[in-house]
Structure 1
């Protein structure tokens, strides 16, 4: 349990929080890009041109 106390100390949190935020932002961007890609492939499989302007 000593490691948990050390993890919650202010100097450690000052370094850990920005790292977690950066990883979370990039993970979110990657997930959105993947979702967009899957939707585009589904449109192509249905015969819809995803690049067609309305």
Structure 2
């Protein structure tokens, strides 16, 4: 049995997977479809972070 606890888990960072413009565009489009403006804002921040990390 795996005894992992929350303390052993790392934080998920979506920006690590937003590796190109096409993926970033699709990510934002899907966020828009939810109608949740807070979620959309967070997704935009993830895309911006991905772009900064790539630079």
Query: Which structure's CA Rg is the greater one?
Result: 1
Q: Normalized per residue, which structure has more helix?
A: 1
Higher relative contact order structure (alpha carbons within 8 Å, sequence separation ≥ 6): 2
Instruction: Give me the TM-score of the superposition, normalised by structure 1.
Output: 0.36
Instruction: Give me the TM-score of the superposition, normalised by structure 2.
Output: 0.35
